[in-house]
Amino acid sequence: MAPFKLAIIVGSNRKASINRKLAQGLAGLGSASFTVQFAQIDDLPMYNQDLEAASWPASATRLKEEIAGADAVLVVTPEHNRSIPAVLKNAIDWAARPSGKGVWGGKPLAIIGTSPGGVGTACAQQHLRDILGNQGALVMGGQMFITWKDGLVDDAGAVTNEATREFLQAFMDRFAGLVGKLAG
């Protein structure tokens, strides 16, 4: 069977984001099951319904096409002020519009995040479940908290800690299994 197409959305626009590094590690671990495309969200204008009628942004069209063309979506996000980052909420809103023409409905989706604290992305993950579930995404159950330590993912995108690598591999395998069941 051909690999599934996976869109990865990183909920941070920092170039040195630890969640971006984790996402790169997950992309490598999922390479047997997924071909990966990182969806760019940092160039989207702030959502404004007036733009729907006036001049729909090309960046929003690109994002919607990337999500629509993917078999599944993986969101890797930090937590900002006990919720999701503004850049991520903005991307979710653009991909949900115009009303009735969003791309989240029926899309298999998994959520994960990392922070230096033990459960630093708990609130963000719960908010994402609420938001994306309301949009009709098929969100994989369970929360994944990865405590970030310098060097956890090397510059080549490899997860360096064996126990963490096995844990994350099981997560990616479980997600691939879910996507396969939903596709079948």
Q: What is the DSSP string of 89-115?
A: HHHHHHHT-STT--S-TT-EEEEEEEE
Q: What is the pLDDT along the chain (184 residues), one digit of tens a residue?
A: 679 999 999 999 999 999 999 999 999 999 999 999 999 999 999 999 988 887 899 999 999 999 999 999 999 999 999 999 999 999 999 999 999 999 999 999 999 999 999 888 999 999 999 999 999 999 999 989 899 999 999 999 999 999 999 999 999 999 999 999 999 8
Res 36: pLDDT: 98
72 vs 34: CA distance, rounded Å:
9
CATH number for the region 4-183 comes to 3.40.50.360
How many of the other CB atoms lie within 10 Å of CB of 59? 16
Res 44: pLDDT: 97
Q: Which string of b and e fits 115-140 if b means at least 16 CB within 10 Å?
A: beeeebbbebbbbbbebbeebebbbb
87-90: long-range contacts, CB 8 A cutoff, minimum separation 24: 87/11, 87/12, 87/13, 87/41, 87/42, 87/44, 88/9, 88/11, 88/41, 88/128, 89/131, 90/41, 90/44, 90/46, 90/47
| Three-state SS at 7 | strand
pTM above 0.95, yes or no: yes
Res 1: pLDDT: 65
How many of the other CB atoms lie within 10 Å of CB of 163? 8
Res 55: pLDDT: 83
Count CA atoms within 13 Å of residue 182 on its CB side. Answer: 17
Res 34: pLDDT: 98
133 vs 126: CA distance, rounded Å:
10
Strand partners, 5: 35
First to last CA, the chain: 11
